[in-house]
Chain A
Amino acid sequence: MNSVSRAALLYLGLAVFIVLVGLWQGPANISLLLLQSTAFALVALGLNVQFGYGGLFNFGILGFVMIGGFAVTFVSYPVSKTFWTGEGPIWLLRALVAFAAGFALVWGARRLPLKGGWKAALMVLCYFIAYVVYRSQIDPAANYIEKHDGFIGGLGLHPVLGWIFGGILAGGVAWIIGKIALGLRSDYLAIATIGISEIIRALIKNADWLTRGTLTVSPIPWPVPTPGDYQDHGVAPAVSFIYARGGYLALALVVVAIVMFLIQRAYGGPWGRMMRAIRDNFIAANSMGKNVTARQLELFVLGAVLMGIGGAMLVSMLQIFDPGSYQPINHTFLFWVMVIVGGAGNNWGALLGAMLIYLVYTLSGPLSQALFYAISGWTTQLGWGAIPDIDSRSLQMRVFVLGVVIVLALRYAPKGLIPEVVRRER
């Protein structure tokens, strides 16, 4: 069986699986699951670009997804009148000036013709001064905004613009991270990216003036007609949800299709070949005159852009931005499971893996719940009493299932369900 028919068969299986799940969970639920899985698929494709094409170990996906979520919140949330008419913007401007001054100080210090220990000491001092100056301006600004306006609100633009901005912002941050961290190899890069993503998480979670922190922002506008809009035109509530989600799904699928087309082209072209060459043997690629770090930076940024868009779509679909809900398990490791199970280096594999693993991950909750209730029924009959807190415990089964899936996949199908096709020209 060749790889194409294998892939087709697997996608057919996935379609049957989705239909079965739809019959079990009802159309409203399956449409929601599909919607979320498309957003997850985008992020998984982003990881596939980074890891599958280039072998980069980005374990900081959470950071980019979160940046995307913040971006769409900022762009599409209604404008806050109290903030823009109050003193908030002035305060923020002062903080910005302080930041620029600090940046200039550090930049200037770097240029000084000093060497060795003196230079290092000077740099540390400059960074410290810049930090103190910035803190001295941003702290009162944050206090003022939090006290008077809650948070800075949004720009009130269309959510799709927010998605684009999410991609750009995540790409920009990825450029900075990549610039400083991409020289590291494998394990070190993995740990560094986790560390950086945790820093991003802490910043977004605690910058209440910017993101409202753990108080969460909602409702975030929906890019297509909402169930309410359909209901105003006399559509029954139950049907209106399917319409609204169907509309969103169509939009999301268009985005996925465009992305898929572009990255497939990139993979097949000379650029993709060069990336694979770097991935497989960066020393050889380097000796052939390829600038390894610069090319990897391109991959890292491109992948992060997709992650940012995916994260933004996820937030505008859930209509709530809750920085506290971002966890490494479901926003970093889940994507790794998707790409590894699907097949690293193969976009169709990553897409399949994303859909499949997302469904398996979410459905293992209710499945184990049913299982626990059954076991609980037996133990009650045996006189041992029922299992306490079944609902909260069965959710944890998802994490366990995810772990089992990744361990089994690594052991028995290390190349994934749809492995990368290695073409050899004769």
Chain B
Amino acid sequence: MDVLVFFINKVLVAGTVLGSIYALGAIGATLIFGILRFAHFAHGDMMTMGAFFAFLIALVFYHYGIYLPVPMGFVVMPLAMLLTIAVALGIDKTVYAPLRRRGARPVTLLIASIGVTLMLQGLIRLFFGTGQYSFFDYGETKSIFRIDMSWAGARPITFTQPQVLMVIVTVVLVLILNFFLTGTRLGKAMRAMADNADLAQVSGINTQLVVRLTWVIAAALACAAGTMLSLDVSLKPDLAFNIILPIFAAAIVGGLGQVYGAIAGGFLLGFAETLGVFNWSTILRPLAGVLPDWIVIPPDLSLVPTEYKLTVSFVILVITLLWRPTGIFKGAST
């Protein structure tokens, strides 16, 4: 039983948390790809930016001594989302829209988005330096839940309050998105445009509106993902680059342009990363008494060393690209 609890603590909880964040980021990246047909590299920085907006707003609340039973980061998230959306729309208007009007190729937009990445990253570091920040340095405590497992003679299952809220928020956001995409006229227009932009336009769909809407959704989800990631671990200006590649990997594994694929890809990669660095020898330890003497279970049986955790995503990404470039669910291509 101890072994199972250990597995739940190390893999199930960590994988779900990481998977939710990847999924939220990947939905945004995949939507932008579906509608605007380019890989939006600045998505990781939009996440960092959203997290810093949330952090700043939370700081204001802390300053006035306002503390709530739930972490402030979650409460201020809608406000931070609004700010992130505003910035995203501004960037689209000043950078991407002129290029689109000129009829630039998608790859030009990709390079432009790298420019945006650099600008955002420069600005974020300009204001926040290169240090680490935490929402919980200002008087709030991260409450830890323990599910008592002593009836089974095992250690408790532990997770933190932000982790629970994170999963709830992810589920709620995905449900809202699902309702929007399948139940509303605009959502259907959006899916139509992702399928075939020209056909959507001649059918009278307001493509400008759909483009703006894409940015709204992508930015809001990016802000949520960034804030939740920084609530779970810490807030760092260079969060972005470590996260953008797994997110693209998730989006590609799920098939670019496919929202549900992105969710599946996000969780797949989240679990793959945690399972990759998971030390299997703990699981095998109970077998030690049964096995013959000449088999010794080594102390470290993880598939990849911890320092290669992120590499797991890249390897999966590369394998997917080579084996089935359109992703598990069939994706779009430029």
Contact = CB atoms under 8 A, between A and B. Distances in A.
A400 B122 contact: yes
B322 A180 contact: yes
B37 to A, nearest CB: 9
B321 A400 contact: no
A123 to B, nearest CB: 11
A396 B99 CA distance: 27
B62 interface: no
A195 B314 contact: yes
A399 B33 CA distance: 25
Interface in A178-198: 180-181, 183-188, 190-192, 194-196, 198
Interface in B293-323: 305, 307-308, 310-311, 313-315, 317-318, 321-322
Contact of A187 (B38, B249, B305): B38
B325 to A, nearest CB: 6
Contacts of A57: 107, 110
B222 to A, nearest CB: 18
Contact of B318 (A196, A206, A401, A410): A196
A315 interface: no
Interface in A377-426: 389, 392-393, 396-407, 410-411, 414
Contacts of A205: 307
Nearest to A128: B303
B98 interface: yes
Interface stretch (A24-32, A328-336, A348-356): A328-336
B111 A406 contact: yes
Interface in B13-31: none
B207 to A, nearest CB: 21
Interface residues of A, number: 44
A195 B318 CA distance: 7
B334 A185 contact: yes
A397 B119 CA distance: 9
A227 B122 CA distance: 36
A149 B112 CA distance: 47
Given A185-B334, A393-B129, A329 B118 contact: yes
Nearest to A177: B318
Interface residues of B, number: 48
A403 B106 contact: no
A329 B117 CA distance: 10
A202 interface: yes
Contact of B115 (A198, A202, A404): A404
A41 to B, nearest CB: 20
A190 B115 contact: no
Most buried by A among B95, B119, B123: B119
Given A187-B107, A206-B307, A399 B38 contact: no
B317 A192 contact: yes
Nearest to B114: A333
A152 interface: no
Contact of A206 (B99, B119, B129, B305): B305
B225 to A, nearest CB: 19
A389 B122 contact: no
A403 B245 contact: no
A329 B110 CA distance: 15
A396 B125 CA distance: 6
A403 B116 contact: yes
A190 to B, nearest CB: 6
A190 B317 CA distance: 12
A179 B258 CA distance: 28
B121 interface: yes
Interface in A270-295: none
A340 interface: yes
A122 to B, nearest CB: 15
B288 interface: no
A410 B106 contact: no
A191 to B, nearest CB: 5
B115 A406 contact: yes
A181 B321 contact: yes
A410 B107 contact: no
A398 B119 CA distance: 9
The 8 residue pairs across chains A and B that have the minimum distance between CB atoms? A400-B122, A403-B118, A403-B119, A406-B115, A399-B122, A396-B125, A195-B314, A407-B115
17 contacts: A57-B110, A181-B322, A183-B325, A186-B334, A188-B252, A191-B39, A191-B252, A192-B318, A195-B313, A195-B317, A198-B245, A329-B121, A336-B114, A389-B129, A399-B125, A400-B126, A407-B116
Given A185-B334, A191-B317, A194-B245, 10 more contacts: A57-B107, A181-B318, A202-B308, A202-B310, A329-B121, A397-B126, A406-B112, A407-B112, A410-B115, A414-B104
